[in-house]
Structure formats: C-alpha cells, structure tokens
Amino acid sequence: MNKGIRKKVFIVLHLLGFLLLWWVVRDLEWEQFFALLGTMPLWKFFAGLMALCLVYALKSLRWNRLNRSFGIPTTWRSALVFYLSAGFLSVITPGRLGELAKIYFLKRKYGTDLPSATSSVILDRIWDVLVLSMAGGISLLGVLSPSENNTLILTLVALLFLLSLGMVLLPSLIFRPALYLTRRLPALHKSLHEILGLWKEGRSKHFLSSLVLTATAFLLLAALPLLFSVGSPAPIHFGHGIAAISVSNILSFLPVTVAGFGTRELVFTEVWKLQDYSREIALSISTAYFLITYLGSLFMGGVVYLLNARQLYRPAEIRAMAKE
C-alpha cells in the first residue's frame, strides 16, 4: 500500500510540471514561435553542443578532484564517463536516477564504500547549488523590481546560497547529526567520522578550484540564450540569461518536473516578461536551450553509456541496490 501511495504521489507531482507547461503555452502565438525557431541557424545548435561538452568536461574534472580528496582513485576519464552516463540515465528515467547511479559506478569500479561515494556525490551537487544560487541572487537584483514578493524570492535564494556555502565550508552541519544518529552503529559511525575529517581537510584546498570550475561551467550554459538570441528580433541581455538559467536549474531540483518541463518555461517567460520580452521569444530560446541540454545529454551520454555498459550498472540494478 505504501509503495502504491508513493507511486501515485510521484505521478501527481510530475503532472504538475506539465500543467505548468500548459499554463505557459495556453495562449501562445504558435506561428510566431515557430518562425522565431526557424531563424536559428544549425551552426548555433552545434556550437551549443560544443559548449555542453565543455560543461561536462569541467564538472567531471571538479568531481574527480573531489573524489581524490575522499581517497577515491578516479581518473578524469573515468569521472567523465560516469558523469556522461549519469546524465543519460537522468533524462531517460524518472526520479533523478543519475545522481544515484554515480554512487554505484564508484562502488562497482573502485569498491568505494557507500558513505564515501555518497558524500562525494552530495558535495559535487552542493557546488552546483552554491554557484546557481549566487548567480541567481546577483542577476535577480538587476531584473526584479523592489516589492514585497520579490524581497521574499531574493531572501530564499540568499538563504539557499548561505546554506550551500555553509555545507561546503562547515561539513559538521551535515555530519554531526549523522554521527549522533549512527552512534550505535560502530562501522558506519567510524566511516562517517573519517569522511568528515577528509571533507574538513580538503575544504580549503579545493575551494578556489571548485569555485572556478563550477562558475565557468555555469557561464557556458548561461551563454546559450545569448547565443540563440544574437540576430533575433530581440537580443537577450547576458544578465537576463543568467537569471533565467540559474533560477530554472534551481527549480529543476524539485520533484514536480520531467526534464525541466514546466518550471523552465515558466521561469523564462516570467523573468523575461519583466524586461518586455514576448512569451514567444522566451519560449523559442528556452526550447533551443532544452534541445541542447536534454538531447545533447541523451545522445552523448547514451553513446558513452553503451560503450561502457559492461563496467556500469543497468538502471534496474541501481534501483535494486538502492532498495537494499
């Protein structure tokens, strides 16, 4: 019964994303929308794919450095294979299986214990949240007009930034409660205590490099709206692109969307509406951005996953191990 309830809740939450998408496009001028898409030359999509390749390369380099600080002997190549494969699994399966997959890739190839692998993946994701919230807060200051509602939005983004920064620099925020809860499980308690020591030891050593790698990867993604808007009827300001990309990526962590459908389109239209961009312009650029990030991850990650399938877990195996 509990499993059935969870499944229904999961379906309802994801339907909300499509309801948001319907609400955004319900009165869209489709002819103008397709005309705007038609003005985007093919070379821009190839350039966008090249940018996405660089994003994966930078993020996998960051994760490789974090892994090695936890004593996990990955190479940049293996981290890139895991990252691309996890991205592929994220777009073909519900429930954010990609992040879970990275944990079991480490376990299968390197025999990494679950606490160490999980800590590495969590810290890697916290870095994304840190830079997204920082970029989102700064860009929204220049986009949103001062009002009571906007103050609440900026406050929430600022709190998200402070929380993620605190987790990077003060890992005890995570580990002290975990250590308290596992005090009667000696093996797990000892493992968590060792991981806490490694996290503390590497927090200053890897802070600057992780910040630079993450910020560079984000700016490459944020440049995609600028790329597609050049030569269009309404060129997009780079700061407005940063605001839309950062906020939509933060919302993509919520379990109410499949591949960002709904939340991405809502953010692009609502944020850019404040700068007098039409809904058709916002949706044409958000669609181009989706084609690059989603289909690019599907193709590149799929090829890498299939070529390395013998070294990696299948989705069903990952889910089975998660239940254990």
What distances in angstroms separate CA 105 from CA 58, 113, 317, one per listed residue? 19, 11, 11
CA–CA separation, 37 and 69 (whole Å): 45
Looking at the chain, the number of H-run helices and the number of E-run strands are 15, 0
pLDDT at 124 over 60: yes
pLDDT at 159 over 80: yes
Give the pLDDT band of residue 63 (cuts 50, 70, 90): very high
The whole model's pTM is what?
A: 0.86
Please compute the mean of the pLDDT values over residues 118-133 and round it to a whole number.
Answer: 90
Coil/strand/helix, residue 47: helix
Q: How many CB atoms lie within 10 A of CB 255?
A: 14
Between 59 and 255, name the one with better pLDDT.
59
Read off the pLDDT of residues 190-200 as tens digits, 9 standing for 90 and up. 888 888 888 88
pLDDT tens, 221-257? 999 988 888 877 767 888 888 888 888 888 777 666 6
Nearest-angstrom CA–CA distance, 53 and 50: 5
Q: What is the pLDDT of residue 198?
A: 83
